[in-house]
Homo-oligomer: A and B are copies of this chain.
Amino acid sequence: LRGSRLALARLLTQVENDTLEGRAALIELFPHTGKAHLVGVTGAPGTGKSSLVNQLARFYRNPPQGVEKVKIGIVAVDPSSPFSGGAILGDRVRMRDLSGDPGVYIRSMASRGALGGIAASTAGVVQALDAAGYELILIETVGAGQDEVEIARLAHTTIVVEAPGLGDDIQAIKAGILEIADILVVNKADRPGVENTERGLKNMLQLARPTSKIAGVGKPGHEAMTASGEGNLLTQERIWSPPIIRTVATEGEGVEELADEIQRHREYMKASGAWIKREQMRLQAEMDTLLNATVVARWHAAMDTQIYQETLRRVLERQLSPREAVLKLVNGDSR
């Protein structure tokens, strides 16, 4: 709470390892949370998410006039890390860019260790950064696994990053994550095919959000805003239509426009009541995740290991199917 980076680093390690100290600290810190703007950044591999996140951080640390300079937390959830490697490498690359700035804190998370799951672990890390006074927290995930999508979905603002020329598999991923996008970014917009990518996004957006089409208010928010100068406030409050922004993150192009949209989305969320709703969704999801993990842990602790081993043996010999075995174990019937 006093701003010690060393204390924060130690806390985050405790939280990631789900130690008793980490748990106790999160309980004490909880009343200090709820201030940060949580921004999820997700997208397929190869879209340049990390560069974009770095550029956003740089922008907020050296803002143009009229934009508030805020403390930035970055939480990178690294998909490579059910096993090893990637997270540390990513850290080093980022460090070169943003290190030395006390207003930036970067944490790469391995999916690996995460006892109780990566989503729970990320929630704890974000809470700690929030309590430590980081005002805008960028949560970077790869938009492929269900875990990653869950994490991104629980941010206040979710940015989905796309890039031209990434092939068919990527198209498929897009369809899934478009439903959770608040802002769409076509990064690497200096590459050929950028118009196609943007057109594809617009089409998929209509498919993914049929409600806005049916309701007849599916006009992209950005266009509405620029067309009328200030937009239709009523429509704006009722429904958010994800704008599509072009960026070239490596050159910093489009980053200011993206920051504008993040700010605009924040204002929309606060005004519409959606901000509080997402807060509640996130807290309930976190509570339910912890609840399930705790219930399972208690059940296992109370279970007779000899009965478990004997039941497992019968499954391995194909005398019992896994489900029959489970019913026997849960009903306390060892025969």
Contact indicator B296/A296 (Cβ below 8 Å): yes
Output the nearest chain B residue to A153 by Cβ-Cβ distance. B82
- Residue A273 at the chain B interface, CB threshold 8 Å: no
- Residue A283 at the chain B interface, CB threshold 8 Å: yes
Interface residues on chain A, size class: 35 or more
Give the contacting residue for A323; candidates B23, B179, B180; CB below 8 A: B23
Given the interface contacts A46-B166, A80-B176, A170-B45, does A296 sit within 8 Å of B290 by beta carbon?
A: no
A19-48 at interface with B (beta carbon < 8 Å):
23, 26-27, 30-31, 33-34, 44-47
Q: Could you say how many copies of this chain the assembly holds?
A: 2
A215 cross-chain contacts in B, Cβ below 8 A: none
- Residue A149 at the chain B interface, CB threshold 8 Å: yes
Given the interface contacts A46-B169, A146-B118, does A179 sit within 8 Å of B84 by beta carbon?
A: yes
- Residue A198 at the chain B interface, CB threshold 8 Å: no
- Residue A294 at the chain B interface, CB threshold 8 Å: yes
Contact indicator B44/A84 (Cβ below 8 Å): no
Distance in Å: Cβ of A199 to nearest Cβ of chain B: 17
Contact indicator A31/B323 (Cβ below 8 Å): no
Given the interface contacts A45-B166, A46-B167, A111-B146, does A323 sit within 8 Å of B290 by beta carbon?
A: yes
- Residue A295 at the chain B interface, CB threshold 8 Å: yes
Mask of A114-155 contacts with B, CB within 8 angstroms, 1/0: 000010000000000000000000000010111111000000
Whole-angstrom CA separation of A147 from B325 in the bound complex: 23
Contact indicator B294/A330 (Cβ below 8 Å): yes
12 sample A-B contacts, Cβ–Cβ < 8 Å, listed by A number: A27-B323, A30-B320, A46-B168, A49-B169, A83-B180, A84-B175, A144-B145, A145-B148, A280-B316, A284-B316, A292-B292, A295-B330
